[in-house]
């Protein structure tokens, strides 16, 4: 069987969908030497592992990825004799060749649930292509039960057509040395205890509430207590101006650290040195950052919306409401006063919850759907 894959998410700087596609492709490369795979993209495909002889990369140069897939996808599928095409990021080609099956991944439908939550371009693409792609697909892979529910509720797709394929986190790395951790802290001018947020700075991530909650937490510190830092690790996405303005106006702006893009090693060191992980997202299709934080046994603060309770279950702390800064401040205080016994219990719960998810399971279920 010849399987085609929309490989546009396989970029050097990966996040979200890119992390998902990278890990599934890596696992499929390890476990399946019977089927032929074709990675299609309109830009360079970045792979840092050796592909098997049954894997092929096909690239063309085109400035707008979604339009390229829509216009060129059907022709490429015919040219290479593809039996099953996997649309990895919400969109399938216009038209369909006789005998070809389409499998489509839907990660989230945030733009359909929360107005003005994404970039204008992404919102236009979602509204223009996603419903039709869902209707055209022979099977849909939803990365959580919450996403599956949204597909049915918003587009009226038959439940029997949708399969839930949970994602996973990153592998637990060997512990960084104290010297490595201190070097990263010095690079970002972190000279004390800190809370950590890791993701893009954009409206969906609710970073304004992080800042408001941190301000309230710092206001409540008793005299003589060492102040904390709030480390925002990640690049600027879109509609981030309000976040930057809030930081500038904060009386504790010197304690709010923006790192920009960070390396995997820097991210590991920041996780290992943190007091707690803060992730009050307004909507998630899955929530890989929660599982990343669980690698390090950290207390985790998040919201009980969309898929986050599926991923976190009883291992994490939930805010009363996603935009309740006082609730966040209370949980920050709780994390700052945990006993060693409480920290040990949290680390054990993190490990047990993290082990429920694996890229092996995700890849095997994906392969089953692609070949059935």
Report the distance separating Cα 108 and Cα 286, nearest Å. 8
pLDDT averaged per 10 residues in sequence order, the chain, 372 residues: 97 83 97 97 94 97 91 96 97 95 96 81 85 97 97 97 94 90 97 96 94 97 89 91 96 97 94 98 94 96 97 97 97 97 97 95 97 94
Domain with CATH 3.40.50.2000 in the chain: 2-168+358-371, 178-354
Side-chain half-sphere CA neighbours of 130 within 13 A: 23
Instruction: Tell me which residue of 50, 1, 61, 43 sits closest to 25, measured CA to CA.
Output: 50
Q: Within 13 Å and on the Cβ side, how many CA atoms surround 315?
A: 25
CA gap 47, 23 in Å, rounded? 11
Interatomic CA distance for residues 251 and 242, integer angstroms: 16
In CATH terms, the superfamily for domain 178-354 is: Glycogen Phosphorylase B; (3.40.50.2000)
Backbone angles phi, psi at 198, to 5 degrees: -130, 110
| Res 83: pLDDT | 98
Is the CATH code 3.40.50.2000 the one for domain 2-168+358-371? yes
- Fill in the DSSP letter of residue 264: H
- Quick one: which of 160, 107, 156, 114 has its CA closest to 138? 160
pLDDT of residue 317: 98
pLDDT at 91: 95
Contact 106, 86 (CB under 8 A): no
Q: How far is CA 101 from CA 77, 97, 164, in A?
A: 10, 9, 19
DSSP symbol at 277? E
pLDDT confidence of residue 88: 97
């Amino acid at each position: 069987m010849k399987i085609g894959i929309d490989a546009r998410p396989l970029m050097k700087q990966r996040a979200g969908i890119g992390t998902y596609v990278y890990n599934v492709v890596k696992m499929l490369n390890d476990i399946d030497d019977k089927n032929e795979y074709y990675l299609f993209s309109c830009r360079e495909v970045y792979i840092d592992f050796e592909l098997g002889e049954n894997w092929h990369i096909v690239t063309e140069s085109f400035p707008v990825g979604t339009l390229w897939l829509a216009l060129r996808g059907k022709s490429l599928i015919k040219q290479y004799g593809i039996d099953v095409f996997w649309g990895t990021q919400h969109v399938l080609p216009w038209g369909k060749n006789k005998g070809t099956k389409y499998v489509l991944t839907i990660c989230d439908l945030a733009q359909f649930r929360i107005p003005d939550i994404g970039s204008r371009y992404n919102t236009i693409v979602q509204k223009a292509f996603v419903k039709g792609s869902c209707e055209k697909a022979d099977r849909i892979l939803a990365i959580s039960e919450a996403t599956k529910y949204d597909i049915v509720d918003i587009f009226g797709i038959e439940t029997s057509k949708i399969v839930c394929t949970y994602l996973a986190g990153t592998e637990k790395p060997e512990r960084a040395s104290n010297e490595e951790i201190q070097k990263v802290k010095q690079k970002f001018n972190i000279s004390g205890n800190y809370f950590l947020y890791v993701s893009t700075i954009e409206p969906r991530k609710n970073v304004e509430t992080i800042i408001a909650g941190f301000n309230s937490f710092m206001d409540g510190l008793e005299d003589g207590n060492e102040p904390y830092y709030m480390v925002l690790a990640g690049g600027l996405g879109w509609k981030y101006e309000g976040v930057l303005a809030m930081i500038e106006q904060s009386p504790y702006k010197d304690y709010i650290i923006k790192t920009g893009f960070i390396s995997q090693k820097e991210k590991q060191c920041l996780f290992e040195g943190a007091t707690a992980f803060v992730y009050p997202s307004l909507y998630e299709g899955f929530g890989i950052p929660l599982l990343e934080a669980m690698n390090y046994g950290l207390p985790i603060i998040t919201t009980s919306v969309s898929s986050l309770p599926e991923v976190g279950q009883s291992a994490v702390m939930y805010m009363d409401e996603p935009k309740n800064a006082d609730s966040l401040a209370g949980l920050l205080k709780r994390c700052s006063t945990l006993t060693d016994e409480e920290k040990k219990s949290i680390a054990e719960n993190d490990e047990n919850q993290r082990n429920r998810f694996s890229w092996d399971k995700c890849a095997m279920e994906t392969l089953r759907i692609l070949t059935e």
